[in-house]
Amino acid sequence: MITHSPKVYLIIFLFLNIINFIDRNILFAFGDTIKTEFALTNTQWGLLTGLVFLFSYSVASVFIGVLGDRFSRTKIIGIGIMFWSAMTALTGLAKNISTLFLSRALIGVGESSLSPNAMSMLSDVYPQERRGLATAIYYLGIPLGVGIGFLIQSIFGPIFGWRNIFISLGVLGIIIGFLIYFLTEPARGAIDKKNDTNTEQSKISDTIKLAFKSITSSRSLWLIMLGGVIAHIPLGVGGFDTVWAVQERGFKEEEYTAIFGLFFIIGGSIGAIFGGFVGDYFAKRYKAGAMLALIVIYIFLIPMSIYYRFASPDSIYFYVALFLITFQVTVFYGPTFAAVQSLSPYKVRTSILGIWILAVNIVGMGIGSFFTGYLSDTIFADFKDPLSWSTSLMAAFTFLSLLCYHLARKTYDEDIKKAQLN
């Protein structure tokens, strides 16, 4: 069996995550066009970009996470890529709302195969003190994928149209998924199990029981997971960014997607790397230092994310705030995912990541996407800028995540030791 170096796995998974977020967010880039073509209300658009995708993605993440703790993770990822790519192509062929919603839901099922299994394998090749940076590099897929997707819209959208772009991305993804199916995966738990020679696989029911026991018995783990869920509420408004910019800030769709794409690539990439470096740096010097770093960073960034929704595009501060928002989106991933990985026993790490992804997306981003549309159609409908008010309210929820991170620090070290014993 030929295994690869940690850097090779990291580069491959980063590339796949870029493809993942292009396919996931290209719909947002064409938001005003697709919303108009299918005559969707803000509430319907919020469901399409939020719960329709997130529910299937999240539920499937749990089941695929459990399967990833028992079967070949690279084959699961390969099959998942081929499936979500086929559904991306189907989105481009959609002629009615039902097909549009169905294809979006099934993209979620396919994409659920990637992160739990990729993060689990990165934990097999990177030690605890380097996981923050490795995770941050993997999650560069968010700014690069989202940014490239928005740039694709701004450059090629007016030329080829949204349908041809979706179909082309789908065909390309199927080819990539076929190649990944044959990738060799690293030895499971190679870093953490050390002298553990017991390679017997447990039953699926035992895996699920151990995963839930690990979460409920670790105060730090469930608090950090809860904090991550709350921090994702503002991310649920992402599907409305292009719609908001066109309807309430006077941008043309391709104009805003070009600006947002460039800013997200730059700001998001800096945020991801900064979060990884700072998280690892603080972790070596303070108890649960990565969580402390996030608390300090978020206290400054949250008010800026609210200010952005009301700033004038004629002001330079609008673009400063846009940079900081893209920075905030990704600075979270390195510290929190590294902490969750380290607090999870290696035998059920993929399952725990799958369960967390379920909660983060359905509860976190699901609330953000649905209530952004619902509040703008109802409570704030008579306000001058209804989307600005509803997105700002969602952003304010992030303050609650800071309390979770603070409380998690109290038992962090002892919970790390418990995880290493299982």
Task: Work out the average pLDDT over 127-156.
Answer: 84
Query: What H or E segment, with its residue span, contains residue 167?
Result: helix 141-180
Q: What is the per-residue pLDDT for 342?
A: 79
pLDDT band at 211 (very low <50, low <70, confident <90, very high): confident
Task: Work out the average pLDDT over 122-140.
Answer: 79
User: How does pLDDT run across 323-363, given as a tens digit for each residue?
Assistant: 999 998 888 887 887 788 778 887 777 778 778 877 887 78
Task: Work out the average pLDDT over 193-197.
Answer: 47
Q: What is the per-residue pLDDT for 78?
A: 95
Q: What is the per-residue pLDDT for 172?
A: 95
Q: What is the per-residue pLDDT for 2?
A: 46
Q: What is the pTM of this model?
A: 0.74
* Alpha-carbon gap, residue 357 to 101, rounded angstroms: 21
Q: What is the per-residue pLDDT for 199?
A: 43
* Alpha-carbon gap, residue 413 to 255, rounded angstroms: 48
User: How does pLDDT run across 18-36, given as a tens digit for each residue?
Assistant: 999 999 888 888 888 898 8
Q: DSSP labels for 205-255? A: HHHHHHHHHHHHH-HHHHHHHHHHHHHTTGGGGGGGHHHHHHHHH---HHH
Has residue 163 got a pLDDT over 90? yes
Cα 286 → chain centroid:
27
1: three-class secondary structure by DSSP:
coil
Q: What is the per-residue pLDDT for 327?
A: 92
* Alpha-carbon gap, residue 298 to 333, rounded angstroms: 13
CA-wise closest residue to 411 among 131, 279, 222, 227: 222
pLDDT band at 106 (very low <50, low <70, confident <90, very high): very high
* Tokens 């603080």, residue located: 282
Has residue 196 got a pLDDT over 50? no
Has residue 197 got a pLDDT over 50? no
Q: What is the per-residue pLDDT for 192?
A: 59
Q: What is the per-residue pLDDT for 182?
A: 92
Q: What is the per-residue pLDDT for 77?
A: 94
Task: Work out the average pLDDT over 133-154.
Answer: 86
Q: What is the per-residue pLDDT for 189?
A: 65
* Alpha-carbon gap, residue 165 to 85, rounded angstroms: 12
Q: What is the per-residue pLDDT for 203?
A: 62
Q: What is the per-residue pLDDT for 1?
A: 42
Buried b (16+ CB within 10 A) or exposed e, 338-358: bbbbbbbbbbbbbbbbbbbbb
User: How does pLDDT run across 382-408, given as a tens digit for each residue?
Assistant: 898 899 999 999 888 889 999 999 999
Mean residue pLDDT across the chain = 85
Domains of the chain: 6-188+203-421 (1.20.1250.20)
